[in-house]
Structure 1
C-alpha cells in the first residue's frame, strides 16, 4: 500500500503533538467533540468510449473495487486558542479488472498496468480563535473557486495547503486560502497543479501553441490563492464574491447569488445565478466570461429545474484539472464550458417518500450544448443525459447503507462519446 510521504509527515507530526498533550486533553472538548467514521465504499464502473475496435485498450474502462475509509475530526482544546487535528486514511483494493479494461481509479505503473491496491493518508492541524478557524495540511475544499472531486472515483481528490475561515460577523463567512499541491483521485503523489484544457482553445500569448495533449505538462503551477466573502442577508438570499489565482495560469472572479422564494403549500422557487471572469496570469492566453443559472421549482416531493449556461471570450471556462467546475451545467462527465458554448438543462427529481418509500430518490437530467468554437470554422455540439437512483436504508441493521446506480450517456464532437454506468454500495459506521 502506497502513501504520500508529505501527507504521512503532516499526519504524524500533528498526531504526535496531540498524543503528547493527551493527559491534559482527556476531559477537554478536543475529545468530547471528536467524530470518527469508518466508511466502506464498493464501486463498479463501466465506461465505454465507443471508439476503436474491441481490442483497443482505450475503448472501455471497467473496474470493480473496494475502499476502506477512516475519517477522524477532533474537537478543539480548551483555552483562548483551541487546537485540533483531522486525520483521513483510506485504502483502495482492486477486486476485478484487466489490462484491456483500463481501470481508472488506481495509479498506473511504468508498464501501463495499474496497481492492485493503494492508499491515501492525510492530516490537518487546526486552530480556533473565537469564530475563526485556521487549517493547515490536507484539504478537500468545496468552494466556487476550487471544488475537490470527492465521489467521481473510488477515492477523493485532495490538496495540501492552508485555509482560514472566519464567521466573526453574523451572516458573513470570509475565507483566505493557499494551495500548493494536488493529490489526484487515482494517485498517491502530490503534484503541481494543471489547468483543464479540453475544448478551451488555449494558446500561449504568442499564439504559437495549442495547449493540449503532450503540451499541457509544460504548463503547471505550484500556487493557488483564493479569497471569498459570502453574506446571508436573510433566510431567502445569500450572495458571494470570490477571487482566485492559479499562479502563471489564470486569475478568476466569481459572483454568486442564491434566492429561495417560498410559495406555500410545500412549494418554493429556487434561483441559483453564477457569473465569472477569467483572465491570464502568465504566458497562457486566458479570456473567458461565463454565465450560468438554474431555476428550480419545488412542489411536494418533486423538483423541476431549468438551466442555461453561456461562454464568451477567446477561451473556455478556466478551472484546475481534476476538480469540479462551478457551473450549473456541470454533469457527471461534461461541463459544457468550451469556447463560445451555449447549453440548456432540464432536470427532474423525485423523492419516493411521497409514495411511502422514504430513502428512495431518483433524478433525470439532460443538457444540450451548441455553438462551441473548435477552430477552422468547426462547431462543437454535445449532449449528456444522466439517470441516478439511490436508496438509503432508514432503520435496522442496514441503517447508513446506501445503494446507488448512476447511468450516463454522452454524445460529443468536443470530447468523446461515452456510455457510463456506475453502481456504488456505501456503508458508513459511526465510531465516535
Structure 2
C-alpha cells in the first residue's frame, strides 16, 4: 500500500521521535515502516460450579473493548541499520462489578482485589539494530519461544522489558538469546518483577511471593529440510529455576491432501536457589490431516518431585495447555483427543471449528495419595470475513468445561470480535 504524505509524517513523528536521523538519506526507515490497529471486543463468563464449599464468588463476568496499535519502522541504510518500534494498548471497561471481577480482561484496583478500573493501558518502545541477518531489540518485547511465551489470550497482550537477539546467519539455523527484566501482565498498566507459577498441585515450595530480577534465555532451531525441524532452548528465572527444552516437529506427506504431523517435546526443569523445582515433562501431539479435516492425539506426562515450572502469566509450551488448564501438576499423566474442520471444504471459507477433550490422572495430592483427576472439554467456532468493507473482521466463540477432584469446577464462555486494519 502506498503511503500518503500524512502517513509518512506520522511515521517520522511517532517512530522517529527518539532517533537522531542524520539525514533524509535514510529513506528506508520511512519507506519500510508499517502500522496496524487491532480492535478487540471481549466478553468473558466463567461460572464456578462447585457446591461444597460454597465459593466466595459464584462467577467472573466482564465485557471490555481493547485497542492495540503497533508501529514498526524500517531500518536506516548502512552496515548497521537502526529502527524503532512502538506498541500502544488501551482497555476500556464496558461492564463489570466487584462481585464479578477477576476475568483477566480488566485491571483491578485495591492491589488486584478491588473493582475493575474504567481504563488501563501502556505505551512501549523498542529500539532495534540490524547487521547482516541479525537483529538486536531492546525495550518492549513479546517473546514467543519454548521457554517463554507471552500470553495474548485476553483483551491486551502480556509484554516484557529487556533485550533479545535474533540471528539467521547460518542457513536453516535460527538463534535467539537475551534477557528479560520485568513483565507487564495482560490486565495491568505497570511493569513488575517476575514471579513463577506455583498454583495447582505442583508441589513447588520456596517460590511463593519471590520475585526474580532477570530471566536469561538462549537457544536455536534448525530446519533440516521442509519436513523436519529440531530445536533446543534454555531458560533461567533467577533464583527460581533452570529449564532445558527440546522439540522435534516432523511432517510426513502421505498422499494428496493427507499428512501426519508429529510434535514431540521434552523439558527438564531444576531449582536455582531456594525452590525445590524438579520436573521432567514429556509431551507429544500427533495430527493427521485429511483434506479439510484434522484429527489429533496428544499425550503429556509429568515426573519428578514437582510439576512444570514457568513464568507467571505466560503460556507454557505444553501440548495439553488448553483454554483453562495446563495438566502440569506433579506426576500427572494426561491424554488429548482433538478434531478440527475448515468449512472451506463446504464452500464457506473463513469458517473453522475445533473441539477437544482432555483427561488427566495420577496427580499427587500429598497425604491423600496419587488419585487426583481432572478433565476438560473445549470448543471453538470462528469466522473471518473474506471480502467486503469489513474484510478481516473476526468472530469467535470459545466454550470450555472442566471438572476436577482437587480444584475448581468451571464452565466458561468467551465471545471475541476482532478487527485489524492497516494504518498506512
Question: Structure 1 length normalisation: TM-score?
Answer: 0.91
Select which of 121, 124, 146 maps to 1:122. Answer: 124
- Partner of 2:273, secondary structure, is coil
Partner of 2:93: 94
Q: Tell me, which stretches of 5 or more residues in structure 1 are unaligned?
A: 1-11, 205-210
CA distance in 2, matches of 1:414, 1:233: 44
Change (3 A) 1:15 1:421: same
Partner of 1:425: 417
- Partner of 1:16, secondary structure, is coil
CA distance in 1, matches of 2:50, 2:107: 23
Partner of 1:207: none
Partner of 2:138: 136
Moved over 6 A (4+): 52-55
- Partner of 1:193, secondary structure, is coil
- Partner of 2:29, secondary structure, is helix
Select which of 223, 226, 242 maps to 1:232. Answer: 223
Partner of 2:8: none
CA distance in 2, matches of 1:414, 1:335: 14
Structure 1 residues 135-284: aligned runs within 5 Å: 135-150=137-152, 152-198=153-199, 199-204=201-206, 216-217=208-209, 219-284=210-275
In the alignment, does 2:287 pair up with 1:296? Answer: yes
- Partner of 1:221, secondary structure, is coil
Q: Contact 1:145–1:254 at 8 Å: present in 2 too?
A: yes
- Partner of 1:194, secondary structure, is coil
CA distance in 2, matches of 1:415, 1:89: 36
CA distance in 1, matches of 2:291, 2:173: 32
Partner of 1:62: 61
Partner of 2:390: 398
Deviations 1:360-398 (A, max 9, x none): 001001110000102003321101100000000000111
Partner of 1:387: 379
Change (3 A) 1:55 1:90: farther
Q: Tell me, which stretches of 5 or more residues in structure 2 are unaligned?
A: 1-12
Q: Contact 1:14–1:124 at 8 Å: present in 2 too?
A: no
Once the two structures are TM-superposed, the CA of residue 338 in structure 1 deviates from its matched residue by 0.3
Q: Contact 2:164–2:178 at 8 Å: present in 1 too?
A: yes
Once the two structures are TM-superposed, the CA of residue 414 in structure 1 deviates from its matched residue by 3.6
Partner of 1:312: 303
Q: Contact 1:342–1:370 at 8 Å: present in 2 too?
A: yes
The RMSD of aligned alpha carbons is: 1.8
CA distance in 1, matches of 2:211, 2:204: 14
Partner of 2:362: 371
Deviations 1:259-303 (A, max 9, x none): 000112100000000001000100001100000000000000000
Question: Structure 2 length normalisation: TM-score?
Answer: 0.93
Select which of 401, 406, 409 maps to 2:401. Answer: 409
CA distance in 2, matches of 1:253, 1:51: 37
Q: Contact 2:15–2:71 at 8 Å: present in 1 too?
A: no
Q: Larger deviation: 168-177 or 371-380?
A: 371-380
Once the two structures are TM-superposed, the CA of residue 103 in structure 1 deviates from its matched residue by 4.3
Deviations 1:104-142 (A, max 9, x none): 322221271121111121111000000000000000111
Partner of 2:70: 71
Once the two structures are TM-superposed, the CA of residue 97 in structure 1 deviates from its matched residue by 1.3
- Partner of 2:344, secondary structure, is helix
Deviations 1:135-183 (A, max 9, x none): 0000011110000001x21111110000001000000001111001011
- Partner of 1:376, secondary structure, is helix
Q: Contact 2:392–2:419 at 8 Å: present in 1 too?
A: yes
Q: Contact 1:365–1:386 at 8 Å: present in 2 too?
A: yes
Once the two structures are TM-superposed, the CA of residue 98 in structure 1 deviates from its matched residue by 1.3
Partner of 1:208: none
CA distance in 2, matches of 1:108, 1:278: 33
Q: Contact 2:15–2:73 at 8 Å: present in 1 too?
A: no
Deviations 1:5-31 (A, max 9, x none): xxxxxxx9974333x428525x62211
- Partner of 1:328, secondary structure, is coil
Q: Contact 2:96–2:116 at 8 Å: present in 1 too?
A: no
